[in-house]
Amino acid sequence: MSEVVAIIPARGGSKGIARKNLRRVGGVPLVARAVDAAQRCAAIDRVVVTTDDADIAAVAAEWGAEIVERPVRLADDGASSESALLHAISELETRGVDVGVVAFLQPTSPFIDVDALADAVQLVRSRRRDSVFSAIETYGFLWEKGVGGAAQAINHDMDVRPRRQDRDPHYLETGAFYVMRAAGFRASRHRFFGSVGIAEVEPRTAIEIDTTDELEVARALAPLVDRSAPVLADAVVTDFDGVHTDDTVRVDQAGVEAVTVSRADGMGVSLLRAAGIPLLILSTEANPVVAARGRKLGVEVVQNAADKATALRDWGASRGIPLSRIAYLGNDVNDLPCLEIVGWPVAVPDAHPLVLAAARVVLDRPGGDGAVRDLAERVLAARPAVRTLTDPFTASQETS
């Protein structure tokens, strides 16, 4: 039975942005975002990354991709994407894989539309089209500079300015994905052949990263585009202050400290535990209130942690949970090392700006007022086999 194989070329070199395919958007390396999109597409059977770079290979493998080692001669600035794809297909066939359809995904497009990708695969599998590419609809008036720099109209008559509703649209490639019959691609050695189709995607997903400015734009867009993405996490790790609490503390005349937490968060923790999802509270705070809250919730606690990232790595490794499958919820700059190594960096809405920039998901509820419940419901919603409560959100508070 032939397979639909997603192939993601991701070389180590890049002139515009050094180590581009490992740069993070929404807290996730670009190559990992492409792997994740392919894995979330039910129409794809196998996800492969072809690369000449050991670091890229390690990240892609952690996110679940199969690796094809790309020859150096196919990874320089002059090598085409087609050459890398053809090599990967040949390598897969030596491994016994029958490649029927190729979905060519580019990690430089961080917001791959999974539904549009699935539709494109079905168009090719059904043989209604031989090749399908992602594109946005545009009604823009295009121009070029002619002799001496004089402007010349391309797709319109400069003497006629019809209204948008009176014009037919054009389509602009986004570069996010190309889906092709493997046999036709090998014969033509080009991504466009036979009957070519268009998979329309939303304009906000169409950014392609080639410059540092485009990288910053993508990072700014990520919270908006990723907002509805399912949180596909197998474990949840949270900070304490500013996450389970509102980041304030009350001190009485004897110097005893107390914080305010949310009962809704307690229910969120209970739902995660009932679903068998491992949890950890990881804090630099030495106050015994952290351990007391952990005992009440039945959650493991590591506190007074000077190196939170190392503690997180050790905890995940001891349970056999890849970092790519961990959701970490934080609010301040001391959470950045943890946010930068997990697959699901999550922030409360009132977090430090650097934390918000590093997050893949920004929650709706603030710390101490249902943030943990918010994250719990997102994690559980991504696990269809687990039934979650659908009662209206309530955020009554308790004091610990």
Model confidence pLDDT, tens digit, residues 312-337? 999 999 999 999 999 999 999 999 99
For 311, list phi and psi in degrees, rounded to 5.
-60, -40
Structure tokens at 322: 């890849």
pLDDT given at position 389: 39
Q: Assign 228 a pLDDT band (cuts: 50, 70, 90).
A: low
Measured CA to CA in angstroms, residue 392 lies from 190, 261, 264, 372 at distances of: 53, 19, 11, 15
> Which region, left, alpha or beta, applies to residue 274 given φ > 0 means left and ψ of -120 to 50 means alpha?
alpha
Q: Do the beta carbons of residue 31 and residue 38 sit within 8 Å?
A: no
pLDDT greater at residue 186 or residue 396: 186
Measured CA to CA in angstroms, residue 245 lies from 129, 293, 335, 342 at distances of: 55, 11, 15, 22
Domain-by-domain residue ranges, the chain?
A: 3-139+169-227, 235-399
Q: Do the beta carbons of residue 342 and residue 323 sit within 8 Å?
A: yes
pLDDT given at position 137: 94
Residue with tokens 């996110």: 63
Please tell me if the domain spanning 3-139+169-227 has the same topology as the one spanning 235-399.
no
Please tell me the class of the 235-399 domain: alpha beta
For 171, list phi and psi in degrees, rounded to 5.
-130, 135
Residue 249 has pLDDT above 90, yes or no: no
Superfamily of domain 3-139+169-227: Spore Coat Polysaccharide Biosynthesis Protein SpsA; Chain A (3.90.550.10)
Spacing of C-alpha 40 from chain mean position: 11
pLDDT given at position 398: 52
